[in-house]
Amino acid sequence: MTFEFRAIFHLAFPVSSLEVALDFYTRCLGASVGRHAGEWADVVWLGHQITLHQQPAQVLPRAARGVRHFGVILPWTAWDALRARLLDFDASLVRDVQHRAVGEAGEHVKLLLDDPDGNLIEIKAYRDLDSVSPALA
């Protein structure tokens, strides 16, 4: 399906502390704050909207979330710049960095980090987006 507009992806989830979450998403990831209304706020990260709801009782322990995560695929140089930013900000946030299929069609890098509530964020880059899906290239 092809659209004649740029879609903006939206994701919403609970956080324990709106203040702590906003600090992480703005200072660490470089997001900007959008709408803000008491117990919730929007941040815009890489052109997409994340709504943070201060609902501590709804925040699950990391282990209870299983494989649930969200992320982004960036151009290789942008991934490298964000990785450097994260390591400069707080290297302990970066849980894992992997470089896979080196020299092959599907060569990619990824890093995993947790936000303050343990929401797992996966950030990837592929040498060739066609190796993921022609629709992305």
CA distance 65 to 60: 7
User: 């960095």: which residue's tokens?
Assistant: 97
**For the chain, first and last CA: distance in Å?**
15
CATH 3.10.180.10 domain span(s) along the chain: 1-56, 68-137
DSSP secondary structure letters along 31-96: -EEEEEETTEEEEEETTEEEEEEE-GGGPPPHHHHTT--EEEEE-HHHHHHHHHHHHHHHGGGEEE
Assigned superfamily of 1-56: 2,3-Dihydroxybiphenyl 1,2-Dioxygenase, domain 1 (3.10.180.10)
Using CA atoms, how far apart are residues 80 and 96, in angstroms rounded to an integer?
Answer: 14
CATH superfamily of 68-137: 2,3-Dihydroxybiphenyl 1,2-Dioxygenase, domain 1 (3.10.180.10)
Full-model pTM:
0.86
The single-letter code of the amino acid at 25 is: Y
Q: For residue range 23-64, list pLDDT tens digits in order.
A: 999 999 999 999 999 999 999 999 999 999 999 999 998 888
pLDDT single digits (tens) 74-126: 999 999 999 999 989 888 888 888 999 998 888 999 999 999 998 999 999 99
